[in-house]
Amino acid sequence: MSVKNNVQPADAISAADIPSTPYRILEWVLYAIAAQFILLGIVMSVGSVGILATGSSSEGAASAGILALGGMFLFILAVGFLLTVVSALALYLDAETVRDSAADWSPTPWLYALAGLLLPGLAVLHYLYVRQANIVDIEQRENWWVVMVVTAVGLLVVTALLRAVPFTFGSTFSLAGLFMIGLYKDAKYTASHGDGWTPSPPTQFTVAVMTSFLATVVYPLYTIYYLVRRHRSVGLF
């Protein structure tokens, strides 16, 4: 039987009690990280198809491949710089908002801003971890786990086709990016509606990123583990 009640204490402070656009921007920073995996997969797949179509020994194909990789590298650098600036600013502004609220947690804005400039990814993940542990963020959509299942199955299919269709390798990165988003969003739902298990969304996202290089093996297995625990806590349907 599905359990869909919000089990948070009646006096718990939620994200709805502390409206903050910078907080949502910090979440979008995570989505942007996942989006880079998706884009990388698309570039690799398209590049592989182009090379296979023109011949692997073609000088033009090799040049196109180098240009594509170089362009992707420059794009990642540009996005990384932008995300660093955005992360530092959003961390500072949201920390100020939380500090001035009724929440028990009182973050230091300038310290998080500095961390955002030096280690933006880690700073955002740590901040979101502590914030969501103190200020519950209720996710209303309950079927994000479907994204996890679809991407996990997709990874298994890609693995099976890899020898026969080599250019499908790039799609593993795209599927990994989608998996990261699905896992983060579903962990938010489970943490705010479940009973007995409250997975930390930033921690789940970190696990997905850290194991992305083994996505074809780890993600399907982790999906099974996650869904079993989710079913016991909040159900699936």
pLDDT tens-digit profile of 64-102? 556 666 776 787 788 889 999 999 999 999 999 999 998
Q: Are 130 and 142 members of one domain? A: no
Rounded to two decimals, the pTM is 0.86
Is 203 part of any domain? yes
Q: Is residue 1 part of a domain?
A: no
Q: What is the pLDDT of residues 45-55, one digit of tens each?
A: 776 655 555 55
Same domain, 101 and 177: no
Specify the pLDDT at position 159.
87
Residue at which a domain ends, from 137, 165, 196: 137
pLDDT at position 42 is 83
Q: Which domain holds residue 42?
A: 12-137
What rounded mean pLDDT belongs to the chain? 86
Identify whether residues 142 and 112 lie together within a single domain.
no
In-domain check, residue 7? no
* pLDDT tops 50 at residue 1: no
Instruction: Clarify whether residues 16 and 133 are in a common domain.
Output: yes
Is 28 within a domain? yes
Q: How confident is the model at residue 166 (pLDDT cuts 50, 70, 90)?
A: low
Which residue, 79, 73, 80, is CA-closest to 43? 73
Cα–Cα nearest to 15, from 198, 199, 138: 138
Q: Does any domain span residue 127?
A: yes
- Answer with the one of 92, 112, 137 that is the final residue of a domain: 137
Cβ-contact 136, 193 below 8 angstroms: no
Q: Are residues 143 and 127 in the same domain?
A: no
Lowest mean pLDDT among 61-70, 82-91, 204-213, 215-224: 61-70
Burial 50-74 (b: 16+ CB within 10 A, else e): bbeeeeeeeeebeeebeebeeebee
